[in-house]
């Protein structure tokens, strides 16, 4: 019997796996993410997902899912803002512009490993200073890559999107399910 393990403490990733009816448990990775120093956003999420996935103990029937998401604007990586000023700068940069959201995913068993990156293009409406100040004064920006959550209050900023919505939330769930099938996981059971 295969045992699905999510190597993440992200509540959004847990919600997405629950949404499609997958049974899983959480085994958080405590990898030192500071050792990944690349500034290329696609390579960064690929390396971080791999690092996280390899730092979780694996047993005979386990299938580990690890992921990392970043927002990229003009080749600059926007991770989770630590302060209001960082969140304000991110929102100001993204205002009226197109940016990319990259999620790297690693799926790993004892015998097999698959790493992939999903990219979604997002365009924001031009934002007023009042909108930015309102948003940075909520709790929302500080635990999300790029400083916004498309699935919550940040939805009001999105003018259009090209790609997987769930990728922007934090896990390209339809691709994950299809890749899990190659590991022998039947999500329809």
Active site includes 143? no
Spatial separation of the C-alpha atoms in residues 20 and 16, rounded to whole Å? 7
Q: d(Cα 88, Cα 101) in Å, to the nearest integer?
A: 18
Q: Show the beta-strand stretches assigned E in the chain.
A: 3-6, 24-26, 62-73, 76-78, 98-108, 113-124, 158-162
**Would you say how long the chain is, in residues?**
189
Read off the DSSP letter of residue 126. Answer: P
The residue from 32, 68, 100, 164 that is catalytic is 68
Where in the sequence numbering do the catalytic residues fall? 68
């Amino acid at each position: 019997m295969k045992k699905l393990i999510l190597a993440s403490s992200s509540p959004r990733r847990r919600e997405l796996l629950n949404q499609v009816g997958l049974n899983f448990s959480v085994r958080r990775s405590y990898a030192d993410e500071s050792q990944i120093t690349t500034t290329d956003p696609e390579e960064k999420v690929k390396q971080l997902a791999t690092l996280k996935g390899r730092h979780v103990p694996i047993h005979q029937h386990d299938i580990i899912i690890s992921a990392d998401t970043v927002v990229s604007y003009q080749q600059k990586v926007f991770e989770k803002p630590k302060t209001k000023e960082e969140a304000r700068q991110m929102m100001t940069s993204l205002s009226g512009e197109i940016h990319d959201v990259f999620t790297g995913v690693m799926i790993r068993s004892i015998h097999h490993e698959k790493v992939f990156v999903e990219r979604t293009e997002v365009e924001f409406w031009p934002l007023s200073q009042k909108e930015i100040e309102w948003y940075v004064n909520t709790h929302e920006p500080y635990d999300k890559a790029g400083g916004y959550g498309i699935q919550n209050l940040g939805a009001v900023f999105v003018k259009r999107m090209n790609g997987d919505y769930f990728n922007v939330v934090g896990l390209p769930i339809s691709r994950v399910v299809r890749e899990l099938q190659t590991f022998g996981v039947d999500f329809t059971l």
